[in-house]
Amino acid sequence: MIPRILLTTGEPAGIGPDLCVQIAQRELACDLTVIGHPPLLAERAQRLKLNLEIRTSGRDDVRAHQPGSLKVWPTAHGADPTCGRLNIANAPYVLETISSGVTACLDGRFDALVTAPVHKGIINEAGIAFTGHTEFIAAISGGYPVMMLAAPGLRVALATTHLPLAEVSRNITRERLSAVLEILDRDLVARFGIPAPRILVCGLNPHAGEGGHLGREEIEIIEPVLENLRQKGIKLFGPLPADTLFLPKYLEHADAVLAMYHDQGLPVLKHAGFGRAVNITLGLPIIRTSVDHGTALDLAGSGKADAGSLEAAIDEAVGMADRMLRGVVEPA
């Protein structure tokens, strides 16, 4: 059994369609289907001077991916896209590809969903309430989404995601931190086949609060949560100062890091592996990965977009799906 991967095209005015037709040229250890508008993909392949056979396919047509061809589940956009120019008429198309993809994975027709980047602003301008890709998927699938980015040799999960810095502290609660750590531990076992994950936990404040002199969140919230979860058998280390936690002597013995907020952990990860990093959503009933970058409207149709992160996202999804199909791990 080969993993069945479903890939969305993302924002049609951005580089998502470019990446789809570029990745179709490569060797992939899966059955790959793109959900999107076939003429859009054909036009983008022509613009990028790529020879590509586009096959409109039923969702049950399972076969190993062949470089130079692309199996497409047809979904029509609202208006012909122009590279680099957003159009509110295509916001429903973007959301339709995502919602249909999530439903198809929930129904067992695909083993994983990989998403190209979307543009949150234009979806909101279309009058559709949309707080983010991950939140939209979770609203359909259920679960408690936890954001984790992975690059070669490093995984960083986040206790909070896209919040103003002024709001981070009050969102680090015992309930949230416990839920995130339990999901992180469970999915490292279930999705990645790591029997007893070792997780390093960042403090919130400089020097992890320095005994309360630089903040009391470590003493009043983080340390009690970690101690409670250790008693349940989860291997947690911290809270540790974020300015030293990412040194090789600590990371070489760790399976993941939990950062308290977005810009505490992700600059390190993106410096280590930008263009090869993968955004993985834990805590969902489906496997979902994505790229580590945005729509890059200025690069759409230019041939300059790098498909490295998308290839890594597909590889990560294939690995997780393959372990599940072979019975190495149980579905989360």
Which amino acid makes up residue 330? Answer: E
Query: In total, how many domains does the chain have?
Result: 2
Residues 17 and 137 placed together within one structural domain of the fold: yes
Taking only the tens place, the pLDDT of each residue in 251-281 is 999 999 999 999 999 999 988 887 789 999 9
Taking only the tens place, the pLDDT of each residue in 106-140 is 999 999 999 999 999 999 999 998 988 988 999 99
| CA-derived radius of gyration, the chain | 20
Residues 261 and 206 placed together within one structural domain of the fold: yes
Residues 188 and 263 placed together within one structural domain of the fold: yes
Residue ranges for the binding site? 133-134, 162, 207, 262, 270, 279, 288
Residues 22 and 101 placed together within one structural domain of the fold: yes
Task: Read off the CATH number of the domain in which 258 is found.
Answer: 3.40.718.10
d(CA 10, CA 116): 5
Enclosing domain of residue 204:
144-283
Residues 217 and 182 placed together within one structural domain of the fold: yes
Residues 292 and 271 placed together within one structural domain of the fold: no
Residue ranges for the binding site for a divalent metal cation? 162, 207, 262
The rounded mean pLDDT for the chain is 94
Q: Is the pLDDT of residue 161 over 60?
A: yes
Residues 63 and 170 placed together within one structural domain of the fold: no
Q: Is the pLDDT of residue 332 over 50?
A: no
**Per mean pLDDT, which range of 154-163, 226-235, 321-330 is the poorest?**
321-330
**Per mean pLDDT, which range of 34-48, 122-136, 301-315 is the poorest?**
122-136
Residues 179 and 263 placed together within one structural domain of the fold: yes
pTM: 0.93
Q: Please give the DSSP secondary-structure letter assigned to residue 82.
A: B
Q: Is the pLDDT of residue 318 over 80?
A: yes
Within the chain, residue ranges assigned H as helices are: 16-23, 38-47, 91-106, 120-125, 133-141, 165-171, 174-190, 217, 223-230, 242-245, 248-251, 262-273, 308-325
Residue ranges for the binding site for substrate? 133-134, 270, 279, 288
State residue 232's pLDDT score.
97
Which of 283, 300, 323 is a domain's end point?
Answer: 283
d(CA 65, CA 324): 20
Residues 93 and 5 placed together within one structural domain of the fold: yes
Residues 278 and 305 placed together within one structural domain of the fold: no
Residues 221 and 122 placed together within one structural domain of the fold: no
User: Please, are residues 98 and 133 in contact by the beta-carbon 8 Å criterion?
Assistant: yes
d(CA 316, CA 288): 9
d(CA 263, CA 271): 12
